[in-house]
Chain A
Amino acid sequence: MPPKGKAATKPKATETTTTSNPTTTNTTSQTASQPSEPTTVLERSQQRFEKTRPFEAARRQQGLSRLSKEDQKGWICDQLLHLTNRLPAASRSCLLGPKASKEIWWTVNGTNSIVRGLKHKPEPYTTWGTDRNGHDVGSYTIERFDERFRKRIALTALQVSSRVFRENVEREKRGFVDARSGREIIVTEREIDEEKVRRSKMAALKKDLYGAITGKLAESVEWEDVVPIPHEEPEGALAAITYPAEYAEAMSYLRAVMTTKEYSPRCLRLTEHIIAMNPAHYTVWLYRAANIFALDLSIPDEIEWLNEVALANLKNYQIWHHRHLLVEHYYPTISSDPDALAQFAKQERDFLIAILSEDTKNYHVWSYRSWLVGKLGMWEDEEELKSIEKMIDEDVRNNSAWSHRFVLVFSNPKYATPGKAATEKDEKVPQELVDREVKYAQNKVYLAPQNQSPWNYMRGVLVKGGQPLASVQGFVEEFVNKLGEGEEEEEVKSTHALDLLAEIYAEKKENEKADLCLRRLAEKWDKIRGGYWEWRRKCLTQSETEKAPGEQVEKAEEGIAAA
């Protein structure tokens, strides 16, 4: 039990055997003269340490063995003091017997050790830690340190208020009643606004003090109740992935709500947020669709939003699958209303025209368009046909437009026998249609005779209509002149014409003429496909009764090719 005179922090100057300070000190120690004003917090604390723990300071400087006997005793008392002071009062008395305690306190009083001294010697970095730039806070000036301290207090105060808010939110959820007013707890708009302000202040302070970046979602009141699921990456992954912080945060919240299968406006907003950062992530699209359907939101509105995203991400195909899902979902609500159907078809077409003007051959858009024709039954829609014709007018080489025309015209249930193969003749196709389409293709051939699309188209139409290729011989011959009459004389405006001409001759059994066409193609007009033209020539020499494809021909081909 320390004697009552413990309060003495003032030195008892008259004692002689012991002095208030250790005697054995280096000249470099601060006790020789008054210490200079500390400039940093570290210095200040170091000085305090020297002052309040002179024996410990001395021991650190010189080592215990070099201190004088009195100083050593003083040091031991100092140690015991600091050890026992940390113990609870009750166990303190057990540590040392009454006699030893008395002696310690007699020595302590004699040496005027300061009871309340700094326990640990202040060290750079470890005592106060580092700031957001990695600098030792101990190196701060006193003013700067005080300022930091004030900020920390401010942050703590905000955190306390925030905690009150969160508790009120929780209480409101559970229908608690306020003890004093007797009314149910309600969190008002104003309180929410205040909390939002508070949160941004907290985020700013945390960033300032510790460099901690609080994600927008983590900071928001709206996402308060959700525990985000961070991305788990196995240690030393072979194909490891790092993410920008905002994307990583958004994904961790997405995982959380997808796990709980939440469908709500905030989830919808979250999907939009993620899509803006990475529109290629297909899961987020699927989850967005689920939200749209679960919340029964307006499909036309969603499509309007989607249009903007599509225009900004032309190569993205998830967008088109999303649209597909939306239309599938929407269709039953308008299928019995012809006006609504027509209007929807028009809206879709208007957008398709707009987006195709940016990327005329976009495969996903065209696939969607072909599908839409079937879904909405647009075969008789004159506007659709006109629109395709316009695209071909603008670019006769747009194979996608040609392909779409074929679908539009020939998959019409009026003319198409179900189950017929694409390259199979179909009796249902009326002659007028065949004539019209052949004429159309021919007109377009004139614009660019070497363009493959209308030639493929014309041939496809003839096959579908079961019309002999020879029926267009006159047209084809317009593009081939003086074949075989010499290098100078020969004129071939289109290799496709020459190809078709060969087929026509073969059809009519005029094999010699067919062979000439093919030979000239291989020799001069389309050398790069020489292997193909030679095969065609070989087919000609097969007898009428033998069907061309088969191992014989293939072996023969390989023989030719190896030569």
Chain B
Amino acid sequence: MTQSFTSLPQELQLTTSAHVKYIQSLDSRKDEYDYWLTEHLRLNGLYWGLTALHLLGHPEALPRAETIDFVLSCQHENGGFGAAPGHDAHMLSTVSAVQILAMVDAFDDLETRGRGKAQVGKYIASLQNRQTGTFAGDEWGEEDTRFLYGAFNALSLLGLLHLVDVDKAVDHIAACANFDGGYGVSPGAESHSGQIFTCVAALTIAGRKELIDVDRLGRWLSERQIAGGGLNGRPEKKEDVCYSWWVLSSLEMIGKTHWIDKEKLTSFILSSQDTDKGGISDRPGDMVDVWHTCFGIAGLSLLDYPGLEPVDEVYCMPKSTIKRVLGR
């Protein structure tokens, strides 16, 4: 499938080097107020930044050794990782840690210098509620389909998916399906693109895509595209670049990406860049951040934008990493 990117205006191109510089500058912004307010996302932030760099073709832009050191310094005795050194272990940061280590090919370091893959797997598995199949974020039990997806993501990368009750978890996902074809954060909750991604990706990893009402879901997802070309998260909400990932990868997983207008979406993402200082924001004109930078670039990769590394739609990581780790 070819896209005519030459039809895009001259000024609407991906400013790769600016984005690389932006991501590199992130860990030096210690004096910014926002920085310490988001310390509970520090490890996740590293995953977003690193993924973007890999997809941009600049994996070396963050120092590998320091990256590994930092990730391992967040690990606890129980195998789980906190969002930053000294922070309690949590599912989301654990998943980010595994993804980062996979990307920089450091599972060996995890064995020799960290607590080892088995311990990480054990921690993740301990967060599953064996009655309902859902996963909690930490010992306190906030349950969310994001954690379920995270668990499947990390465990499959570690080759330890068998540690959890996959079938029960799948049953729970099925219970989160809604009348409009979408999925919510928990049974009965409103369909939401982010939650849809987590449910569909989890079902894909579990090999249970047959449970998805593909036509209905695809239809609902295609409706996320609004006139400006961007995608929103729910009906009648504003478009947001991060949905370029959640919606698009979901469509990719069910084989329906041609149900939206790809060129318009590409335009939208590119218009949301800060071409001078680098980074991508949620929509044109707003402040950039690393989250939207990651998902904007991942979206562009899914849209086959030239010069980007192919992204895996299930894991939101470079296809080359998934090939190396999972052999497919």
Contacts and interface: CB of A to CB of B under 8 A. Distances in A.
A391 to B, nearest CB: 13
Given A233-B85, A421-B174, A374 B188 contact: yes
A44 B250 CA distance: 81
Interface string A539-563: 0000000001100001001101110
A234 B213 contact: no
5 contacts: A239-B70, A283-B88, A370-B190, A399-B234, A535-B258
A141 interface: no
Contacts of A528: 225, 227, 229, 260-261, 264
Interface of A: 231-234, 236-244, 247, 255, 278, 280-283, 286, 289, 321, 324-325, 361, 363, 366-367, 370-371, 373-374, 397-400, 403-404, 406-407, 410-411, 421-423, 451-453, 456-457, 459-461, 463-464, 527-532, 535, 548-549, 554, 557-558, 560-562
B237 interface: yes
B236 A452 contact: yes
A557 B258 contact: yes
A528 B236 CA distance: 16
Interface string B14-44: 0000000000001100110001111110110
B103 interface: no
B272 interface: no
Nearest to A290: B140
B155 to A, nearest CB: 23
B216 A241 contact: no
Interface of A, helix, strand, loop or mixed by DSSP? helix
The interface centre, meaning the residue of B46, B63, B188, B260 with most chain A CB atoms within 10 A of its CB, is B188
A286 B188 contact: no
Interface residues on B, range: 35 or more
Contacts of B69: 234, 238
Nearest to B190: A403
A371 B188 contact: yes
B234 A400 contact: yes
Interface in B157-212: 174, 177-181, 184-186, 188-192
Contact of B85 (A232, A244, A527, A562): A232
Contact of A531 (B73, B141, B258): B258
A562 B1 contact: yes
Given A241-B39, A242-B36, A528-B225, 10 more contacts: A234-B69, A242-B30, A367-B189, A367-B190, A371-B188, A452-B235, A453-B236, A528-B260, A531-B256, A562-B1
Q: Across chains A and B, which 7 residue pairs bring their CB atoms closest together, nearest first?
A: A460-B179, A531-B258, A403-B190, A238-B70, A532-B259, A561-B258, A397-B236
A549 B215 contact: yes
B87 interface: yes
Interface of B, helix, strand, loop or mixed by DSSP? loop
Contacts of B116: none
B236 A366 contact: no
Interface of B: 1, 26-27, 30-31, 35-40, 42-43, 45-46, 62-63, 66-67, 69-70, 73, 84-88, 90, 138, 140-142, 174, 177-181, 184-186, 188-192, 213-216, 218-220, 222-223, 225, 227, 229, 234-237, 255-256, 258-261, 264
B225 A403 contact: no
Contact of B190 (A281, A282, A399): A399
B190 A456 contact: no
B36 A399 contact: no
Given A282-B40, A403-B178, A423-B177, A232 B86 contact: yes
Nearest to A561: B258
Given A406-B179, A529-B260, A532-B259, A411 B188 contact: yes
A237 B178 contact: no
Contacts of B40: 280-282
A561 B235 contact: no
Contacts of A242: 30-31, 35-36
B261 A241 contact: no
Contacts of A562: 1
B36 A244 contact: yes
A383 to B, nearest CB: 19
Contacts of A241: 30, 35-36, 39, 42, 84
A367 B258 contact: no
Contacts of B88: 283
Contacts of A554: 255
Contact of A240 (B27, B86, B188, B222): B27
B235 A407 contact: no
A339 to B, nearest CB: 26
Given A400-B190, A421-B177, A549 B85 contact: no
